[in-house]
Amino acid sequence: MFWFAGSAFLAAGALFYPITMVFRARILFFALPAIAGAIAGYSLGGTIIDHRKIEGYRSAILRGICVSLAAFVIFAGLFALSLPFAENGWLHGSIGAIFLDTLIFGLLMAGPLAVVSGGIAGAGLFWLASNKAV
């Protein structure tokens, strides 16, 4: 859980770091990806450290990619629910549209980063588990 939360936080930081943001935008673009990564890592990422289910790095990388893509869907939901509260001008009735827009345009912008960071996180966690560090 913490591994994928940290991975999501670092990936979001790499994408948005040079941009100056107000505090509520930092919550939306840094805290929400970390929370989504923690939820997805807790529910899907635990099998990476179980060597009975994951046979090698290829499986760990694919599982990590699945975790990161699930985290992205969770982030889109959290973002759609949070945006009307964080910013003026967004209606609570448009949460579904915000969710779809976040999924479509977010995947175009951050999808490759999510795939790469999820694969790296999966391989890194498998390596730690292989060396009995976890």
* Mean per-residue pLDDT, 42-46: 89
Question: Per-residue confidence at 133, pLDDT binned at 50, 70, 90?
Answer: low
Long-range CB contacts (within 8 A, 24+) of 22-30: 24/86, 24/87, 25/86, 27/82, 27/86, 28/79, 28/82, 28/83, 28/86
Higher per-residue pLDDT: 73 or 5: 73
pLDDT in tens, 76-96: 999 999 999 888 888 888 999
Whether the CB-CB separation of 118 and 69 falls below 8 Å is answered with: yes
pTM as predicted: 0.84
Nearest to 71 by CA among 43, 109, 29, 105: 43
* Mean per-residue pLDDT, 39-55: 86
* Alpha-carbon gap, residue 22 to 119, rounded angstroms: 31
